[in-house]
Amino acid sequence: MNFLSTFVTFKSLHEVWRLCHWGPVIALSVIAICSTMAMLDSIIWYWPLDTTGGSINFIMLLNWTVLILYNYFNAMFVGPGYIPLGWKPENQHDIQYLQYCRVCQGYKAPRSHHCRKCNRCVMKMDHHCPWINNCCGHVNHAYFTSFLLLAPLGCLHAAIIFVMTMYTQLYERISFGWSTVKIDMSAVRQFQPLMPFSMPAFAATLFALGLALGTTIAVGMLFFIQMKVILRNKTSIESWIEEKAKDRIQHYQTGEEFIFPYDLGTRFLNFKQVFTWSGTPKGDGIEWPVHPKCHQHTLTIEQLKQKADKRVRSVQYRAVEDYNGACCPLGKGVQTFFRTPCTEEPRIPLSKGDTILATRGTKWWMYGDKVLNEDQMIAGERIRGWFPRRCVEKCHYDTASSESTSDKKLN
């Protein structure tokens, strides 16, 4: 652990539990398989001790592996940065512009959002990534994006090694007939490699090639998405807030002009907010440089307006069937089973007679807040998530916008 801590920053040993999740297990397995097979195939194809090219090839391969793991573990263990529990702005007048988080018992700083997975308010939260089992946010954004760049480059290098190994090892063993292709793995080659290339080695190399190419495409696409986020200085959550702001202004015809406050005008300035020579992003994660026509709370004020509008537009439903909260319920119809939302957002169990304030939905599923009793409200509970549409029916009276119900909605 002391050796690892010289390369990776641990806030506490408790953070190691993040490895015990399907995301890191799959990600690290892919890295291990591609790296191990690439090193073994490099020995077969291009023995590193015979030529300078072979040595450079092997050193580059080791370099990719070290850099990928370094950025991956730092993205996971350094974390996105969290708003201190019970945080309040220094200027008490600013409280009116901020949302209150009952879980963290404090106010949400500008650009921060509460993550249900991490159970904390995250600085400049972009999303919760299952592959690192942590949020991507202010502090680890550069590490995460560097990992997304290095992983496809390393996998592309590994894929070239796999292809060249199979080509050089099978070239003298393939014979073509009129309608057949025969591979004789027992044939003696003119040049014998240090390690034998048998049929199991061929199958393992082919499997690793598929993993490497798939990772190159999938992770490469994620890299371009994150670079778009960085160059615009606009997280995916903030893009959604901006889109809803334009819809709200158009719906109510208010004549407002919404200017996104954190775009500094040029891509280079936005880029330097995340990537610095020191490796530490600019800012403290609470106060941010903003557009000249905006101020620190331009976005938080817009969020409060959208929360109020959401309460007005929410529709009240009453549960007519019990639902146990299963992700893919077997007893609620075939379409409900196969059209379950592809998201990690929770499902909420329902009992007949429960009241829910629905805010969005699909043809087969709905998302909303369950109306709680007074004791649950005092305890700061909030139950929201997806539920099958067939389990509820719309109430014929509208109390969703009443003052009492509004108090039950948490910011």
Q: Mind telling me the catalytic residues? A: 129
Q: 319 pairs with which residues across the strands?
A: 392
Do residues 306 and 382 make contact, with C-beta atoms less than 8 angstroms apart? Answer: no
16-19 own/partner pairs: CB under 8 Å, 24+ apart? 18/76, 18/77, 18/132, 18/133, 18/134, 19/76, 19/133
